Amino acid sequence: AQSVTQLGSHVSVSEGALVLLRCNYSSSVPPYLFWYVQYPNQGLQLLLKYTSAATLVKGINGFEAEFKKSETSFHLTKPSAHMSDAAEYFCVTLSGGSYIPTFGRGTSLIVHP
């Protein structure tokens, strides 16, 4: 069975600092990978997705993620955090042929002024 591990349930950064949210997947075949963001009391929005076209994926709001097969990782980064980035972030995988996405537990990003 697939699994997704997000290291750290909470990540705290200062405004302007680098954001790094970690995601590791377990799959014998490279899956499709996604990062979603959730603001309080709202649904999830897609930040970016990896579908094997390119290993470095750029998303909205200045976020990007790099697929590393050797490390089975898909970490999310942003060079400079903004207060508006404070939210919950979910790493999600979907294997080809499956209709059941697998969610990580989520990482809450806290941005300090």
Partner 1 sequence: DGGITQSPKYLFRKEGQNVTLSCEQNLNHDAMYWYRQDPGQGLRLIYYSQIVNDFQKGDIAEGYSVSREKKESFPLTVTSAQKNPTAFYLCASLGQSNTGELFFGEGSRLTVL
Spatial separation of the C-alpha atoms in residues 35 and 88, rounded to whole Å: 11
Using CB under 8 A as the binding rule, whether residue 1 contacts partner 1 is answered as no
CB 80 within 8 A of CB 17: yes
Q: What three-state secondary structure class fits 38?
A: strand
Which lies closer to partner 1 via its Cβ, residue 62 or residue 106?
106
| Candidate residues 42, 55, 80, 84; the one interacting with partner 1 per rule CB under 8 A | 42
Spatial separation of the C-alpha atoms in residues 94 and 89, rounded to whole Å: 17
Q: Which of residues 55-84 bind partner 1 (CB under 8 A)?
A: none
Binding site for partner 1 (CB under 8 A): 9, 32, 34, 36, 41-46, 49, 51, 90, 92, 94, 96-101, 103-106
